[in-house]
Amino acid sequence: MTGSSKTRWIIVAAILAVGLAIAWSARPQPLTAAEHVDRIAAELRCPVCQGLSVQDSPSETARSMRALVAQRVAEGRTDDEIRAEFQRSYGDWILLSPPLLSPSGLVWLAPLAAVAAGAWLAWRRARGGAPVIAGNGPTAAELQRLRELVASEPE
Amino acid sequence: MNRIARYSAVALIVGLALVLTLAFRRDPHDIKTGTVGKPAPAFTLLSLADGTSISLDQYKGKIVILNFWSSWCIPCKEENPALTNVWERYRGTDVVLLGVVFQDSADAARAYTSQLGNTWASAIDDSGQVALSYGVFGPPETYFIGADGVIAGRHIGPIDEATLMTGIETLRKSAKQ
Amino acid sequence: MSWADVGAGALRAAFAVSLWGVGAAAYAAWKRDARALRSARAVAIAAFALVLLADLAMVGALLTHDFSLVYVAENNARETPLFYSAIALWAALAGSILLWTLILAGAVVYVALRGTRSLPRLATVALAVLFAMLSFFLLLVTTAAADPFTRIAADQVPADGNGPNPLLQNHPLMALHPPLLYLGYVLTSIPFAYAIAALVLGETSDRWLTETRKAALASWALLGVGIVAGAWWSYAVLGWGGYWAWDPVENAAIMPWLTATAYLHSVMVEEKRRLLRTWNIALVIATFALTILGTFLTRSGVVNSVHSFTQSAIGPLLLGYFVAILVLGVGLLLYRLNDLTDRGSIGAPLSREAIFLFQNVLFIAAMLTVLLGTLYPLIAEAVSGAQLSIGAPYFDRVEVPIGLALLFLMGLGPQLPWHGASRATLERQFTAPVIAAAGGAIVAVLAGMTGVAPVLTYALAAFVTATVVQEFTRGVRARRTLHLEPLMAAFLALFRRNGRRYGGYVVHLGIVMVVVAIATSQSRTTELERTLGPGDAMDVAGYHVVMTGLRDIAEPQRATTVADLVITGNGASEHLHPGLVQYPNSAQVIGSPGIAAGSRDDIYTILAAYDGTGNAWATIRVRVIPLVSWLWAGGAVVGFGALLAALPPPKRRTILVPAPVADAVGAE
């Protein structure tokens, strides 16, 4: 069927285009200083807010923290050094997400494990499917169900 | 399969109940992390009264009570008499009371100290960086720094005379030993 | 007689009446006693009337500024405007629980009058369960835990009250957001009560499920719309230019919504294929339990920030209630596990039911992530004493990939037939959507979007939209050939004939709008902060912002300082007045942003600081946030789609299908 193979090529090309667009959008780009400050500020917790980050909070405290981050970035400190400075004053509490390589790194792995385990279970159930229609033909109940199916679907 | 479901369901309920019960006993206002037990961060700031420079170094060997305040903060006004009273009691001894004004304008702060008749010195932390280095959440907060230059304690919120005196006397005792 | 006498008296009477209701309904179900059932029905109405009376008494006390009540003194002041006085009913804990109780009493009446007629035995047991819940809430509002009518000693009654929390009297959305959420929360108890009833009676048919379909859909939709309204409120009031912060209060609302969404889909597998029965009951129990867990977490002061000061004796009671619900629900489910074993099996991995299954896995993982992130700081502190935070960076990084995967499945699932798909079907269904996805990705790149997540979001949004459009065109075309209907009539007939399916597609379109709004506003916001004197200007993202001056506005209940801004550019001409508001009885200064909403950009301005002595300068923060208004519109579309999905289906004509045709339909 040539028509079908043509559609197949269109689908492949379209998927390729999506992939290319994503690859293009993910190309490494140099950060401006302001973006660099934003990135660090987004990871720091505003001490006087309800769980807002320093980047998001309009509070006075967050403003001075942003200013300090900007100053440290201008001085050429690394992200780790800047984070460590705030950790010295406020403890791990000041970071809005625990580092991957820490006892609390578990919180990063848990969702991954949940998705993997759930997907595995679901996949096993979907694969374990018995033949759809038994050899004896449909039972009365199945027939009823099919009638409903037909009645409820306009197509 | 059913047995696994049973056990994991029971374990999940018990675990969740346990965590929540434990969590319930916790006081969300009790922030343990911070600079207590560590050397007090050094700083040099300008005096609010006359613009001379004040640094923590010049009080080496003394007990320093560092009080962070702002003129717009209502609890600061509440605790101010206690601070002044305690200062009058210890004036000229090995105890220093130093205020640090932050998140405030110098004019407003000066009006505040003269209105309340503060006899103790304050320094102005314009950028708020000293407050950040001590891990201050908001005014008022009071830090007890021992003669060894280590932060021995911290009080969040308005402080009273008794707490100040207990803190100072504990530091004096440990300094003598 | 004072308001307090009326209210407290009514609640106590309601408590007694509600306990009677538990007994009457249980007895009626056990003995199949019609008189007991009649009594339970009468008692349901009485309980509702009494709770309504108590709620009205509280509103009366608020409107007349009766400061002899602690609740009124703390949440109302003489200067509070009428509107905010009335809605102060849900401005604090005790009043919120009172409103909650009223809604729950309404649910009891609904089941007592409607439910017990269509499914007498099952609904009567469910009624007993609901009466027990109502009794628990009435216990809360009649004891120290959350008594809204606690009085102040006669000689200490203040002349004026504190007024509501400033954040709660700043915006009319406050009237909408909490009641919507509470309605959503409370309605989850109806499916729960029926599920418990089915388990108690060993009822293995899925009649409970069809019976509670509307309640489940309504609770889901109200939760969803309530969450969006909350996001809008936080955007318009909190003044940081965002709408979602993964705050524990927000997390508490999103968790039951996630499991409810999973349920709405997996329930179709049960209806069509009689599969996943245990799973569906588990989801109903989880959804209801999560509403209680969320209330416990946010109302007991366990996960609050340093600067909030509400503590209440309600914590242990809610915790006990939560554990009791879990033990009852999970215990019964495990007890009946063998009766509920599925006999059929899920189709191939590329069948509609398998996609529902994968979708459920992702929704549950998303919910568990929110739960873990919310509870982990508590766990860590309980175990090791360490204090740490989990916030937006964690949730964003985990939930965004899950959300994108769900978006993909949202396009995939509805296009796949039950049981499994052939290659030809796949090509027929997905050629156009995949081309659309490529178009979406290219549009995103041309618009200058950077980062994988936003571009992928655009691609998937286009993918889903194309599948929905394809469904509608095919449906309309089929009707036009079969019934010779004109275009518009055919379109409307789709909703009338199968509102559930096509309403569901409208919901999907609403979700696409929400997702596009989130991706665009999160990745393309421009922000600039400048300190300006009167007459100075700044330029942000093509907008020219001039500050013409600073003004002080004195109102009886508050003092406001606003900056007057004139904004031009990009075809806009706006006057905005961001301000800082000071309420007399609060040390907190509240930001009141000035927002010019547009279908393309929102211009969001904040007065960050100003010269308090001479109004000589002001620090202005301007955020240009693209497409954020699509978020609120998308929420409305979701709600509208849910309404369409709730349309009653037309009377069924039985179509006799010859067996070969049935086989073919079944296989497709």
**What ipTM was predicted for this assembly?**
0.84
Chain C residue numbers with beta carbons less than 8 Å from the beta carbon of B107 are 613
Q: Cβ of A104 under 8 Å from any chain B Cβ?
A: no
pLDDT value for C662: 45
What's the pLDDT band for A134 if we cut at 50, 70, 90?
very low
CATH number of B30-176: 3.40.30.10
Chain A residue numbers with beta carbons less than 8 Å from the beta carbon of B41 are 89
For residue A86, give how far its alpha carbon lies from the nearest alpha carbon of chain B (Å): 7
Chain B residue numbers with beta carbons less than 8 Å from the beta carbon of C375 are 19-20, 23
Among C334-338, C546-550, C583-587, the minimum mean pLDDT is found in C583-587
Nearest to C131 by CA among C212, C33, C48, C207: C48
Q: Are C89 and C62 in contact (CB under 8 A)?
A: yes
The answer for residues whose C-beta is within 8 angstroms of residue C611's C-beta and 6 or more apart is C550, C617, C618
Q: Over 50: is that where the pLDDT of C9 sits? A: yes
Residue-wise pLDDT for C207-244, tens only, equals 888 889 899 999 999 999 999 999 999 898 888 888 99
Among C131-135, C274-278, C361-365, C539-543, the minimum mean pLDDT is found in C274-278
- Structural tokens at position C251: 């997390």
Which of B32, B34, B129 comes nearest A64 by C-beta?
Answer: B129
Task: Mention the CATH class of domain A33-94.
Answer: mainly alpha
Q: Are B80 and B118 in contact (CB under 8 A)?
A: yes
pLDDT value for B23: 74
For residue B133, give how far its alpha carbon lies from the nearest alpha carbon of chain A (Å): 5
What's the pLDDT band for C424 if we cut at 50, 70, 90?
confident
Q: Over 90: is that where the pLDDT of C649 sits? A: no
C334–B13 CB contact, under 8 Å: no
- Structural tokens at position C189: 């108890």
Q: Over 50: is that where the pLDDT of C478 sits? A: yes
**Residue A30 three-state SS:** coil
Task: Identify the DSSP state of C584.
Answer: T
- Any idea where the domains of chain B sit in the sequence? 30-176
pLDDT value for C666: 42
Q: Please state the rounded mean pLDDT for residues C443-453.
A: 90
Q: Cβ of C339 under 8 Å from any chain B Cβ?
A: no
Which of C388, C420, C663 comes nearest A93 by C-beta?
Answer: C388
CA distance C31 to A57: 61
Q: Over 90: is that where the pLDDT of A146 sits? A: no
Residue-wise pLDDT for C110-153, tens only, equals 999 988 887 788 999 999 999 999 999 999 999 888 889 989 88
C302–B73 CB contact, under 8 Å: no
pLDDT value for C589: 75
**Residue C474 three-state SS:** helix
Residue of C nearest to B107 (CA): C613
Provide, rounded to the nearest whole percent, the portion of chain C with pLDDT above 70.
95
Q: Are C459 and A14 in contact (CB under 8 A)?
A: no
Chain A residue numbers with beta carbons less than 8 Å from the beta carbon of B137 are 47-48, 61
A94–C389 CB contact, under 8 Å: yes
pLDDT value for C665: 44
Q: Cβ of C612 under 8 Å from any chain B Cβ?
A: yes
pLDDT value for C423: 84
The answer for residues whose C-beta is within 8 angstroms of residue A94's C-beta and 6 or more apart is A44, A45, A47, A86, A87, C389
CA distance B98 to C98: 50
B21–C319 CB contact, under 8 Å: yes
C323–B17 CB contact, under 8 Å: yes
Q: Please state the rounded mean pLDDT for residues C433-439.
A: 95
Q: Which residues pair with C69 in a beta bridge?
A: C151
- Mean pLDDT over each residue of chain C, to the nearest integer: 89
Of B95-104, C293-302, C655-664, which has the strongest mean pLDDT? B95-104
Q: Cβ of C323 under 8 Å from any chain B Cβ?
A: yes
Q: Cβ of B28 under 8 Å from any chain C Cβ?
A: yes
Q: Are C48 and C108 in contact (CB under 8 A)?
A: yes
Q: Cβ of A108 under 8 Å from any chain B Cβ?
A: no
B28–C302 CB contact, under 8 Å: yes
CA B136 to chain centre: 7
B24–C316 CB contact, under 8 Å: yes
Q: Would you tell me which residues 620-649 of chain C have a C-beta closer than 8 angstroms to some C-beta of chain B?
A: none
Residue of B nearest to C294 (CA): B20
For chain B, give the number of residues: 177
Residue-wise pLDDT for C506-542, tens only, equals 999 999 999 999 999 998 889 898 999 999 999 999 9
Q: Cβ of A42 under 8 Å from any chain B Cβ?
A: no
Nearest to C373 by CA among A52, B26, A102, A98: A98
- Any idea where the domains of chain A sit in the sequence? 1-30, 33-94, 99-126
Which of B32, B38, B103 comes nearest A60 by C-beta?
Answer: B103
Q: Are C275 and C342 in contact (CB under 8 A)?
A: yes
Mutate to test the interface with C, among A39, A52, A57, A86 (most CBs of C within 10 A): A52
Residue of B nearest to A60 (CA): B103
A93–B129 CB contact, under 8 Å: no
CA gyration radius for chain B? 21
Q: Give C406-448 as a 3 state SS string.
A: HHHHHHHHHHCCCCCCCHHHHHHHHHHHHHHHHHHHHHHHHCC
For chain C, give the number of residues: 668
Q: Please state the rounded mean pLDDT for residues C257-284.
A: 91
CA distance C66 to C6: 13
Q: Cβ of C330 under 8 Å from any chain B Cβ?
A: yes
pLDDT value for C638: 97
C387–A118 CB contact, under 8 Å: no
Q: Over 90: is that where the pLDDT of C627 sits? A: yes
Cis peptide before B140 (omega within 30 of 0): yes
**Virtual torsion, Cα B115, B117, B123, B129, nearest 10 deg:** -50
The number of CA neighbours under 13 Å toward the Cβ of A22 is: 16
B32–C387 CB contact, under 8 Å: yes
Nearest to C25 by CA among C104, C140, C122: C122
Q: Over 50: is that where the pLDDT of C663 sits? A: no
Identify which has the larger pLDDT, C350 or C614. C350
Q: Cβ of B16 under 8 Å from any chain C Cβ?
A: yes
Handedness of CA C609, C162, C230, C358 (dihedral sign): positive
CA A29 to chain centre: 21
One-character DSSP codes across C83-141? HHHHGGGGSSHHHHHHHHHHHHHHHHHHIIIIIHHHSHHHHHHHHHHHHHHHHHHHHHH
Among B95-99, C109-113, C306-310, the minimum mean pLDDT is found in C306-310
Q: Are C285 and C330 in contact (CB under 8 A)?
A: yes
Q: Please state the rounded mean pLDDT for residues C550-571.
A: 88
B34–A89 CB contact, under 8 Å: yes
Q: Are C440 and C459 in contact (CB under 8 A)?
A: yes
What's the pLDDT band for C586 if we cut at 50, 70, 90?
low
Residue-wise pLDDT for C56-92, tens only, equals 999 999 999 999 999 999 889 888 888 999 999 988 8
- Structural tokens at position A68: 């300090």
CA C424 to chain centre: 40
CA angle C585, C587, C591 (to 5 degrees): 105
Chain C residue numbers with beta carbons less than 8 Å from the beta carbon of B6 are 334, 337
For residue C11, give how far its alpha carbon lies from the nearest alpha carbon of chain B (Å): 28
Q: Are C507 and C645 in contact (CB under 8 A)?
A: yes
**Virtual torsion, Cα C73, C56, C109, C328, nearest 10 deg:** 10
pTM: 0.90
C375–B23 CB contact, under 8 Å: yes
* Maximal C-alpha separation, chain C: 88
Which of B13, B74, B107 comes nearest C330 by C-beta?
Answer: B13
Residue-wise pLDDT for C149-194, tens only, equals 989 888 888 888 888 877 777 788 888 899 999 999 999 999 999 9
